[in-house]
Chain A
Amino acid sequence: MKQLFRHLTLMVITCGFITAAQATTPEEDLKAFQNFYKKRFPNVEYLDYVNGAYAIDPVGRENWEAIEEFPPYEPFIDEGQAIWEKPFANGKSFKDCFPDGPALGSKYPSWDKEKGMVMTLPLALNNCLEANGEKPMKYKKGPINDILSYIAFESRGQITNVVIPSDDPRALEAYEDGKKFYYTRRGQLNFACAHCHLQNAGMILRTEILSPALGHTTHFPVYRSKWGTVGTLHRRFTGCNKQVRAKPFKAHGEEYRNLEYFLTYMSNGLPMNGPGARK
């Protein structure tokens, strides 16, 4: 009888929960998400989340700070600047597509009402190239990392501020789609993004500390020692999906675009500090 009562209570709580979850706004999601970390890591300063696992790993942080003294991503920034300034075959350049300059970090991802989709920075860069008769860049490796490094560097200090406009319900749909992606189990190993970077953030997986999702987007592109080069956010998504033995999705396809929209929104309020360096 007691047990039956317990089950019933549990059911009521669960039901109440699901209804609550369905009704939440992005603002409420953001608050609940950031509060989760506040409770998990009461001693971590909010602004320190831009430093990923190093915000919670003092030993790793020392190594990382030593690396940051001679940043491995520096040559990429210089190369990116050259690409930004170099004229296309038609005489125009990126400057013509982005007249406000290269500090574009906090403008993306954004909702493109005309196209009815989330616009990411790499997509916008490639749109510019194609509009000028140039070949688009690959989304994971190669020159895209140079120009993204330059843009990230120029955008340092800008505040993450993803907007989900209320005048187009498709924007909220895209956000909800990205949110669902984040909490959905995938692959043979049956992990959702949230299992590692929310539920078990700060725990040790073999020898690695699982980084908090809060702040994940602020430092891309990132120089990863494991890669030996700078890589994009969508390359990282691909790697995560492969690790859980799921087939990765297309870089800057709808799934990852919406995921980026949600994930970046969750870091709203944090300053941008790319390019970063990680293990």
Chain B
Amino acid sequence: MIGNTKKWIGVAGTITVLAGQFLISPAIFAAGGNAIEEGKKIAFDRKKGNCLACHNIINAPSPGNIAPALVAMKARYASKEELRMQIWDATIKNPESAMPPFGKHGILSEADLEKVIEYVWTL
């Protein structure tokens, strides 16, 4: 229950969450919307996030199937911070994880990483 509550409050604006949940055009919510859109671009970019190499995202072009599909993120992660840790270095949680440590190894810049988290959190 606590996790559930946490899930819905604070973190970079409930607006962002709502935009993702009810598919309201993110453009209406300028600040959060931009970060999400930019995050999506980075996530899809083969040289940057390249999430699609391994993860499926609904309606994404030619995704891989190595890792779990990026859906229901808020049910799978108690907080954005927890999701952040997974993207920062997935081997903390699972030493055998094949996921590259996007934050720890500087594969994404801090700024890009934050945007990707904003985007993935909406999935």
A residues adjacent to B (C-beta < 8 A) = 188-191, 195-196, 199-200, 203-207, 210
Residue tally, chain B, CB below 8 Å to A: 17
Choose one: B46, B52, B53, B100; the contact of A188 (CB below 8 Å).
B100
Q: Is B63 an interface residue (CB 8 A)?
A: yes
**Are B100 and A191 in contact, with the CB atoms below 8 A?**
yes
How far apart sit A188 and B107, CA to CA, in the bound complex (Å)?
Answer: 7
Contact A206 B105 (CB under 8 A): no
Docked-complex contact A188 and B65, CB < 8 angstroms? no
Smallest Cβ-Cβ distance to B50: which chain A residue: A206
Within 8 A of A (CB), among B64-119: 64-66, 91, 96, 98, 100-101, 105-107
Q: A204-B64, A205-B64 are in contact. Are A199 and B98 (CB under 8 A)?
A: yes
Contacts of A205 in B (CB 8 A): 53-54, 64, 66
A191 to B63, CA, bound (A): 19
Chain B residues contacting A199 (CB-CB under 8 Å) are 96, 98
Q: Is B21 an interface residue (CB 8 A)?
A: no
Dominant secondary structure at the A interface: loop
A-B contact count (CB 8 A): 37
Q: Which residues of B contact A207 (CB under 8 A)?
A: 62
Question: Do A188 and B64 form a contact, CB below 8 Å, given A199-B98, A205-B54?
Answer: no
Indicate with 1 or 0, residue by residue over B22-57, a CB within 8 angstroms of chain A CB atoms. 000000000000000000000000100000111000
Contact status B105-A188, CB under 8 Å: yes
Are A189 and B66 in contact (CB-based, < 8 A)?
Answer: no
- Residue of B53, B106, B107 touching A206 (CB-CB under 8 A): B53
Q: Which residues does chain B contribute within 8 Å of A189, judged by CB atoms?
A: 100, 105, 107
Q: Chain A CB within 10 Å — which of B54, B64, B65, B96 has the most?
A: B64
* A contact residues around B98 at 8 Å (CB): 191, 195-196, 199-200
- In the bound assembly, the distance between CA atoms of A207 and B63 in angstroms comes to 7
Can you report 9 residue pairs joining A to B where beta carbons are below 8 Å apart? A189-B105, A190-B91, A190-B100, A196-B98, A200-B66, A200-B98, A205-B54, A205-B64, A206-B63
Instruction: Please name the 9 residue pairs, one residue from A and one from B, whose CB atoms are nearest each other, closest first.
Output: A195-B98, A189-B100, A203-B66, A204-B64, A204-B65, A205-B64, A206-B53, A188-B105, A200-B66
Chain A residue nearest to B63 (CB atoms) is A206
Residues of A within 8 A of B62 (CB): 206-207
Contact of A203 among B46, B64, B91 (CB under 8 A): B64
* Chain A residues closer than 8 Å to B96, beta-carbon distance: 199
A206 touches B100 (CB 8 A): no
Chain B nearest Cβ from A5, distance in angstroms: 21
**Contacts A199-B96, A199-B98, A205-B53 known; A190 to B65 CB distance under 8 Å?**
no
A108 to B106, CA, bound (A): 40
Distance A195 CA – B101 CA, assembled complex (angstroms): 14
**Contact assessment for A188 and B106 in the assembled complex, using a CB-CB cutoff below 8 Å:** yes
Q: How far is the CB of A207 from chain B (nearest CB, A)?
A: 5
Contacts of B53 in A (CB 8 A): 205-206
A204-B64, A205-B66 given; 17 more Cβ-contact pairs under 8 Å = A188-B100, A188-B106, A189-B105, A190-B91, A190-B101, A190-B105, A196-B98, A199-B96, A199-B98, A200-B66, A200-B98, A203-B64, A205-B54, A205-B64, A206-B46, A206-B52, A206-B62
Q: Which of chain B's residues has its CB closest to A188's CB?
A: B105
Query: For the complex, what is the distance from the CA of A146 to the CA of B55, rounded to whole Å?
Result: 40
| CB-defined contacts of A188 to chain B, threshold 8 Å | 100, 105-107
A206 pairs with B64, CB closer than 8 A? yes
Measured between C-beta atoms, what is the minimum distance from B16 to chain A in Å? 28
> For A190, what are the chain B residues with a Cβ–Cβ distance below 8 Å?
91, 100-101, 105
What B residues does A191 contact at CB under 8 A?
Answer: 98, 100
